[in-house]
Amino acid sequence: MDEDLAGAKATEPQTAADSAVSAEQGESAGVDLAGVATAVAPVPADEAAVTLTLDAEGGDHAPEEIVAGALEVASSTLRVLLVGRPEVIEPLLAGAARDYVELVPSGSVIKSDFEPASAVKNMQDSSIVVGARTVSEGRSQGFVSAGSTGAMLAAALLLVKRAGNIRRPAIVTTLPGLEGPVVFLDAGANADCRPEHLLEFGVLGTAYARTVLGIASPRVGLLNIGEEKSKGSELARAAHGMLELSGLNFVGNVEGRDLLKNTADVVVTDGFTGNVALKLLEGCSSSLFTRMKEAAASGTRAKLGGMLLRPALRRLRADLDPEEYGGTYLLGVRGLVVICHGNSSRRAIANALRFGAEALRKGVLPGVDEELARITRDLGPSADSAAS
């Protein structure tokens, strides 16, 4: 499975999200910002115990690396439910300290080439379905997987359910801006969007920036091909108008070249554009470090210079390394869902669990609910008219 930070092939997220939405209950043309739901499982306070479910059989290096990542991070404050076939997982747990790791049996694995929504509906014993069910039943506060992103999206919509009246949950990630993190969404869940979906992404991103990053009034920008409000596609122009009326701290369009310049704290776009932008950034980062490594080995003077720069470059590489964060969040559902790289190592899995627990402790789930309620309260009837 060849998956990047967004964790999905370009065509897979659209199919999964669209078919899962249809299978769940369909969607109306507008967006209702009222009727906010709460998280399925209670959200813990700082340093309180968190329970997260981990798909032990999802990913290119499953199950060995996945189980190793779980064992590395499991503790009295982070309990891990490992979902997998007992005959496959039990041997990997032999001799390990299992005080904070529990095996939840499953019977099959959804492969990356399976049709996501159909697989989720028909493979009820699969690790992804069983894992999502632990969240919907309240046994766990979140679900982490490096398996099929499409299946994760479908399972989140069909089992965990959408929060409030959110139409399209979005994959959110943080980009390494020059002056601090930039919240970026949608990174691949919804390839085809309507303007009201981008408005929702602004709400979700604002809630995330407030609760996880501690930004009191996050600036929201719209990824576009120019700064003027008249620029861009029909989708971008319509979304610009909605965001202006939303009550969010909307600062206008953000061009691709300014994405990492912190001109906005939250940048929204459709999942197709977001996934392409994310892959481009990753590819540029990887190519740049490869070129720098080659240049540092090109001669004696270059090697000496490389030795002097090595500590600083290591810090920079850590800032840009996706495994440092482990995964991306699917926001807009009633539990925490973390989507990891298909090629995640034990380090990435351990970090995904750590960051998932941190997000829960910081209240990202009720934060989304509160932001939706705030928009409805502040704007009243205009909130609905802005999105209709």
Quick one: average pLDDT of 78-90?
96
Model confidence pLDDT, tens digit, residues 364-374: 888 777 876 77
Half-sphere exposure of 295 (CA within 13 A, CB side): 10
Mean pLDDT of 181-196: 94
Residue 6 lies inside a defined structural domain of this protein: no
Q: What is the CATH number of the domain that holds 53?
A: 3.40.718.10
Q: Is the pLDDT of residue 76 over 80?
A: yes
- Determine, yes or no, domain membership for 308: no
Which DSSP symbol is given to 4? Answer: -
Residue 384 has pLDDT above 80, yes or no: no
pLDDT of residue 25: 47
Which range is least confidently modeled, 49-63, 112-126, 285-299? Answer: 285-299
Mean pLDDT for the chain overall? 83
Cis peptide leading into 195, omega within 30 of 0? no
**280 pLDDT band (50/70/90 cuts)?**
confident
Q: What average pLDDT does this structure show over 208-216?
A: 88
pLDDT at 28: 39
N-term to C-term CA, the chain: 39
Of 339 and 48, the one with more pLDDT: 339
Question: Could you give the number of structural domains in the chain?
Answer: 1
Residue 326, pLDDT score: 61
For residue 292, is it within any domain? no
Note whether residue 354 is domain-resident: yes
Establish if 295 belongs to a structural domain: no
Host domain of residue 220: 12-285+315-386
**Residue 268, both tokens:** 């929204």
Share of the chain above pLDDT 90, in %: 54
Give 293 or 125, the one with higher predicted confidence: 125
Q: Where does the pLDDT of residue 284 fall: very low under 50, low under 70, confident under 90, or very high at 90 and above?
A: confident
Q: Kindly state whether residue 374 falls inside one of the protein's structural domains.
A: yes
Residue 300 belongs to a domain = no
Measured between alpha carbons, how far is 331 from 371 in angstroms, rounded to an integer?
13
| Domain assignment present for 2 | no
